[in-house]
Amino acid sequence: MALIRGKTARTLITLCVALLVAITPVTTALADSGGASPGDQPGHKIKQPDQESGGIVPGQPKPRSKKKASKKKTTKKKSSKKKKTVPKKPTVAPPVITASFPVWGVTWTYGDADMRFGAGRSGHIHQGQDVADAEGTPIVAPKAGEVSWTSFQEGGAGYYLVLRGTDNRDYVFMHLQKGSLKVRIGSIVKAGQRLASMGNTGRSSGSHLHFEIWLGGWYEKGGHPIDPLPQMKAWEKLPRRS
């Protein structure tokens, strides 16, 4: 009985130790004393949560958005840097015109003797030179100056204008086409600038320009017209628009 009791006591003690190991959370010292294998220790499961609490936190945000933003910025910079290169047009200096024949055409004529300066008229003499061409032919300033007068005379000059040249001579243009005046009193014009168009207004029997040159002022005291033909022949040789 004593041996059996002793064996039973050992077995009971071992079982008690095993139960203690199972129940007690502090396992290491008791398990070692009880001789149980580490794989069987139920305490291993109990320890796992403590280890995981200090573990790695997954799911760090990646800086993809920053990369995209930087890419957008670079594209914007590239687009802003792009500049349209417009090829420079070759600049050709226009010819300097200091004087011009007053009629811009190719078919004009001075007419016969009756259309010259000094030809007899009823009660007076012809005070200018006539130039015949088609109605609408451009009339231009023979010299730079200022338009000093424009008006209409039914029984004589028709639509006409007077240009005071920078050379202090007055240039008179008569029988101009109705509504063709490109200038008004006070207009500053350059030599060769269009003034009006050739017409047949006033006392006129066909389309022509009646052209006068005055020295000393147009109808001013001491002023008088001169024969414009020599001057016009000189202007004929100057370059002009076709």
**Residues binding Zn ion (CB under 5 A):** 130, 210
User: Which amino acid is located at 166 in the chain?
Assistant: T
Pick the closer one to Zn ion by CB: 10 or 203.
203
Please state the closest distance from residue 186 (CB atom) to Zn ion, in A: 26
User: Tokens representing 62?
Assistant: 């990646």
Q: Which residues lie across from 219 on neighbouring strands?
A: none
Pick the closer one to Zn ion by CB: 27 or 129.
129
Three-state SS across 20-78? HHHHCCCCHHHHHHHCCCHHHCCHHHHHHHHHHHCCCCCCCCCCHHHHHHHHHHHHHHH
Length of the chain (residues)? 242
Please state the closest distance from residue 212 (CB atom) to Zn ion, in A: 8
Residue nearest to Zn ion (CB): 210
Please state the closest distance from residue 126 (CB atom) to Zn ion, in A: 6
Please state the closest distance from residue 98 (CB atom) to Zn ion, in A: 26
Pick the closer one to Zn ion by CB: 10 or 233.
233
Pick the closer one to Zn ion by CB: 130 or 170.
130
Rounded to 5°, the CA angle 21-23-28 comes to 35
In the chain, which residue ranges form alpha helices assigned H by DSSP? 2-23, 28-34, 43-53, 64-81, 229-236
Q: Which residues lie across from 225 on neighbouring strands?
A: 214
Pick the closer one to Zn ion by CB: 118 or 239.
118
Please state the closest distance from residue 143 (CB atom) to Zn ion, in A: 20
